[in-house]
Amino acid sequence: MRTGDKGRDKNGQPKANFEPGLILKSKIVIFAEGTRGSLFKKHSQMLDLRKGKNEEVFEEGVKEIIQMPPGSVKPGQVIHTLGFPLTKSIGGTFLYTMSDDKIALGLVTYLDTKDPLLDPHRELQKLKTHPFIAEKIKGGKVIAYGGKTLPAGGYFSMPQLFGDGWLVIGDSASMVDVQKLKGIHLAMKSGILAAEVAFSAIVKDDFSAQQLSDYDKKIKESFVGKELYRVRNFHQTLSKGILASLPLIGLQEMTGGRGLVDNMSTHQDSKATEEVSNIWGDNADKELNSLPKPDSVLFFDKLSSVYLTGTSHDEDSPNHLIVSDTDICRSKCQPKYKSPCNHFCPANVYEMIPSQASSGGQTQYDLQINYTNCIHCKTCDIKCPFDNITWTVPEGGGGPKYRET
């Protein structure tokens, strides 16, 4: 493995503190990069590790921590809802009451949405206007914010899990129970099983795919495999719409996850996006202006929310968000899709700004990338309709400083 170079300026040139990346030699590598792992993405493309598997699909989650008045919160309450405030996308919300009078409030949306204007941050703000939620958080103040994608394809989207000298665990291997929105226990257990298999490999001094294949067997036989298998068709079913899917989900519950069709396929999230006019007709501007009025107490604009993540990146470091062709943004994406990255990014990283070249009354736009705002959710690597963005690991360990989200 080679770690990233340190101390490069924004043009990629070495600065005074430049240190080249280290080359680490190891007999076995365990990929544990979480959702949409950038190294594992390349590795699996090179070795075709997703051949014969369902497409990898994702959900985008945003979350706030709300500090409530002393003595007002009884910890341990778990509320999950479906529907409101989402009208064009599938998704749900969660409210967990915690110790120290805190409430975690979040919203998770399916990234196979057709809606190019989907903005989970805006939807989370709208959620707080619902009378049921408004009553629960009355008197509170938002103290933290975060955003992250979670892999939703589960059992049938798991890539090949082992090979010569490597294993993959947790979110990088799509190990999330999307029905419960829980993946920490699966990441931990897969890490334990990977460590056991790595230990046997070291004892036998054999790091071949054949030796490491034991990991696949252990995963399938453990609660990881069993839990993922039970919800193997859940995401695909709910993608069909809440009302249409409820009877099918009921049937899956009765048949151990099977339902009517087993295995239900998935489709690449980026390809699902449709043109703005198909989804919103004449109402696009109304939707774009539907953010509840920010008060910096319970309601926030996106930039103020980003401030609560504590995210930072060295201004004089290379942009870690690689857009392959900005002409596509200007000529194809903006006119038809109104630049979805400007909306789905939970941290206001992407902005189409009127270009200096605007002429003849026709406004042209250029993409501006405020990469220092990035909170590493990876949505842009997944949902750009032209697969035009690649997320790479930023130089120098920058990123969000999550403590509570």
Burial class (CB in 10 A: 0-12, 13-18, 19+), 7: middle
Site string for ligand SF4, 292-331 (x = CB under 6 A): -----------------------------x-x----xx--
Omega cis (within 30) before 70: no
Provide the token pair at 387: 């697969």
Write out the binding residues for ligand SF4, residues 356-375 only, by CB under 6 A: 367, 374-375
* Residue 379 found at the interface with ligand SF4 (CB under 6 A): yes
Ramachandran category for residue 104: left, alpha or beta (phi over 0 → left; psi -120 to 50 → alpha): beta
Asked if 62 is part of the footprint of ligand SF4 (rule: CB under 6 A), the reply reads: no
Name which of 204 and 401 has its Cβ closer to ligand FAD: 401
The neighbour count for residue 254, using CB atoms within 10 Å, is: 9
- With a CB cutoff of 8 Å and minimum separation 6, the contacts of 397 are none
Q: Amino acid letter at 197? A: V
Q: What are phi and psi of 338, to 5 degrees?
A: 55, 40
Rounded distance between C-alpha atoms, residue 392 and residue 367, angstroms: 18
Binding of residue 183 to ligand FAD (CB under 6 A) = yes
- Residue 176, contacted partner among ligand SF4, ligand FAD, none, CB below 5-8 A by kind: ligand FAD
**150 binds, options ligand SF4, ligand FAD, none, Cβ within 5 to 8 A by partner type:** ligand FAD
365 binds, among ligand FAD, ligand SF4, none (CB under 5 to 8 A by kind): none
Residues contacting residue 20 through CB under 8 Å, at least 6 positions apart: 5
> At closest approach, how far in Å is the CB of 8 from ligand FAD?
17
- By the 8 A CB rule, do 309 and 403 touch? no
Going residue by residue from 229 to 268, which x/- string records binding to ligand SF4, judged by CB under 6 A?
----------------------------------------
Residues 355-394 that bind ligand FAD (CB under 6 A): 393
Among 218, 245, 349, 394, binds ligand SF4 (CB under 6 A): 349
Q: Is 346 among the residues that bind ligand SF4 (CB under 6 A)?
A: yes
230 binds, among ligand SF4, ligand FAD, none (CB under 5 to 8 A by kind): none
Binding partner at 183 among ligand FAD, ligand SF4, none, C-beta below 5 to 8 Å by kind: ligand FAD
Per rule CB under 6 A, is residue 345 in the interface with ligand SF4?
yes
CA dist., res. 351 & res. 348, Å (int): 7
Find tokens 């495999």 and name the residue: 225
Q: Is the preceding peptide bond at 263 cis, omega within 30 degrees of 0? A: yes
DSSP secondary structure of 316-366: TS--SEEES-HHHIIIIIHHHH--THHHH-TT--EEEEE-TT-BTTB--EE
For residue 113, state whether it binds ligand SF4 (rule: CB under 6 A).
no
SS3 for 32? Answer: coil
Told to check if 402 binds ligand SF4 by CB under 6 A, we report: no
Pairing outcome for strands 166-168 and 29-31: parallel
Stretch that binds ligand SF4, among 124-132, 226-234, 297-305, 382-390 (CB under 6 A): 382-390
Q: Which tokens is 29 given?
A: 């590598």
347 interacts with, out of ligand FAD, ligand SF4, none, CB within 5 to 8 A per kind: ligand SF4
Please tell me whether residue 133 adopts helix, strand or coil conformation: helix
* Rounded Cα distance, 280 and 340, in Å: 14
Q: Which is nearer to ligand SF4, 279 or 347 (CB)?
A: 347
C-beta of 197 vs 308, nearer to ligand SF4: 308
Give CA–CA dist 229/107, Å, rounded: 25
- Residue 398 within binding range of ligand FAD, rule CB under 6 A: no
Q: Which is nearer to ligand FAD, 31 or 365 (CB)?
A: 31
- Between 103 and 176, whose beta carbon lies closer to ligand SF4? 176
Residue ranges binding ligand FAD (CB under 6 A): 32-35, 37-39, 61, 63, 106, 108, 148, 150, 170-171, 176, 181-185, 187, 393
Residue ranges binding ligand SF4 (CB under 6 A): 321, 323, 328-329, 333, 339-341, 345-347, 349-350, 367, 374-380, 384, 386, 388-389, 391
